[in-house]
Amino acid sequence: MYTAITDSTIKISIIGAAGGIGQSLTLLLKTQIHNLIPIGSNKVKKNHIHLALYDINSDAVNGVATDLSHIDTPVSLSSHSPNTENGIKDCLKDTDLIIISAGLPRKPGMTREDLFNKNASIISSLTDSIIEHCDLSKIFILVISNPVNSLVPVITKKFIKFDPTADVERRVMGVTKLDIVRASTFLHQFGINEGFEKRSSIMPSVPVIGGHSGETIIPLFSQSKIHPQLTNEQVDYLTKRVQCGGDEVVKAKNGQGSATLSMALAGYKVVAKFISLLSGQEDIIKAIFYISLLDHTKNEPICPGAKELMDTVDGLDFFSIPLTISAKGVHSIKYWIMDEMNDYEKDELLSACIPKLRENIKTGWDFIQD
């Protein structure tokens, strides 16, 4: 099942690969991702994709990888667990992109914060493995596990403590894409239900900023080009639906976990962006991620636009925002999106987000001893 990693390989490591998200995401990657690398383009420097699957559930991950390996695409696979030779080391060695969906999902009645202690311990020990086995000068890490708002600070602080010069924090990103997918879906459905959507094949694009939990999620419906005529009540309804989108799925699954399929699709969309960067097709990609705004070692803004953003979010040092990414990591922040917010978004949504997000960030930061 294992294919040798060469200079033309993009290696993607999926941690938690046997879980609900992990299985659906690896299926999407195995079946679709190679289509994103055009054959014969001289911009492409890497044209082979390898998926390295890791999970502590050894039988499950081995089964998933074997099953996927029968799918007829040129994407290669390997399976790793504490029971395989070298364990997580072989999954992480030479990797370019690490996707972490390891950890507990919510059950009805729980908040994402309730997952913190258990998932922070998992993430913290995974970060130790990343430090031990990866080339810290190049890896990107995408954090799906919850609570994203606090786990990204946990990982960031661990890297800074290990090696302040490695500059990994500009390549650690919390995945908030599901909120963006939901905002687009709910707005589209709403338009059809209300009878003012005629072009049912066109999906609206709605930026969502802030964090990934309840009131920290700020959908900017005013910045969607479709349905600018929504009333305040309609925007309020849609905003609350996006903020509670995760709860809607947790409730419907009634104890059988949280969003997996929609999250896998959101994760696929995010990885697809990275393929154009890692294959050499693009030098810069645009995306929305939850990132550190501060280079905590130098106590300086992480990149152009970060200072302006921190000034508008009362000094928060982590935030989800449209940005550009180069091979070195976060490259610039589209801070002016904040100036384009309307009064409702600024006075109600951002005001409610800031104290909550500050608390979540502190929980994560304090988890790692100074």
Residues known to be catalytic: 212
Decide if 288 contacts 208 (C-beta within 8 A). yes
Q: In angstroms, rounded to a whole number, what is the distance separating the alpha carbons of residues 121 and 103?
A: 9
**Residue 150 interacts with ligand NAD (CB under 6 A)?**
no
Q: Is 259 in the site for ligand LMR (CB under 6 A)?
A: yes
Question: Pick from ligand LMR, ligand NAD, none: which does 219 bind, CB < 5 to 8 A by kind?
Answer: none
Q: Per the annotation, does 146 bind a ligand?
A: yes
Of 52, 178, 208, 321, the residue at the interface with ligand LMR (CB under 6 A) is 178
**Which of residues 154 and 230 has its CB atom nearest to ligand NAD in the complex?**
154
Q: Phi and psi dihedrals of 191, rounded to 5? A: -60, -40
Does 249 sit near ligand LMR (CB under 6 A)? yes
Residues 6 or more apart whose CB falls under 8 angstroms from that of 177 comprise: 266, 267, 269, 270, 288
Q: Are 267 and 144 in contact (CB under 8 A)?
A: yes
d(CA 53, CA 115): 23
Looking at the Cβ atoms of 146 and 279, the one nearer to ligand LMR is 146
Least distance from ligand NAD to the Cβ atom of residue 115, Å: 6
- Beta-carbon contacts of 55 under 8 Å, excluding residues fewer than 6 positions away, are 15, 16, 17, 18, 19, 22, 61, 64, 81, 102
Quick check: 322 binds ligand LMR (CB under 6 A)?
no
Q: Which of 12, 14, 16, 96 binds ligand NAD (CB under 6 A)?
A: 16
**Residue 108: how many other CB atoms lie within 10 Å:** 13
> How many residues does the structure list for the chain?
370
Of 1-9, 37-45, 103-111, 271-279, the segment contacting ligand NAD by CB under 6 A is 103-111
CB-nearer residue toward ligand NAD: 262 or 279: 262
- Could you say which of 12, 13, 22, 322 contacts ligand NAD (CB under 6 A)? 22
Residue 87 labelled as part of a binding site:
no
Asked if residues 297 and 166 have their Cβ atoms less than 8 Å apart, the reply is no
Tell me the CA end-to-end span of the chain in Å, nearest whole number: 43
Long-range CB contacts (within 8 A, 24+) of 292-298: 292/152, 292/153, 292/156, 292/169, 292/170, 292/172, 292/317, 292/318, 293/317, 293/318, 293/319, 293/333, 295/167, 295/169, 295/170, 296/156, 296/157, 296/160, 296/169, 297/160, 297/164, 297/165
Pick 263 or 349: Cβ nearer ligand LMR: 263
Under the binding rule (CB under 6 A), the answer on residue 143 touching ligand LMR is no
Q: Is 146 in the site for ligand LMR (CB under 6 A)?
A: yes
Give me the 75-114 binding string for ligand LMR, x by CB under 6 A, dash otherwise. -------------------------------x-----x--
Applying CB under 6 A, what is the total number of residues that bind ligand LMR?
10
Q: Of all helices (H) and strands (E), which one includes residue 24?
A: helix 20-32
| Selected range binding ligand NAD among 104-112, 236-244, 301-309, 359-367, rule: CB under 6 A | 104-112
Q: Could you tell which of ligand LMR, ligand NAD, none binds residue 249, using a CB distance below 5 to 8 A set by kind?
A: ligand LMR
Nearest-CB residue for ligand NAD: 19
CA distance 313 to 354: 7
- 250 belongs to the binding site for ligand LMR (CB under 6 A): yes
Is residue 245 close enough to count as binding ligand NAD by CB under 6 A? no
HSE-CB at 258 with a 13 A cutoff on CA atoms is: 22
Neighbours of 10 (CB within 10 A): 25
Site residues, ligand NAD (CB under 6 A): 15-16, 18-22, 54-57, 101-106, 115, 119, 122, 144-146, 148, 175, 178, 212, 257-260, 263
Site residues, ligand LMR (CB under 6 A): 106, 112, 146, 178, 245-246, 249-250, 258-259
Binding-site residue positions for substrate:
106, 112, 146, 182
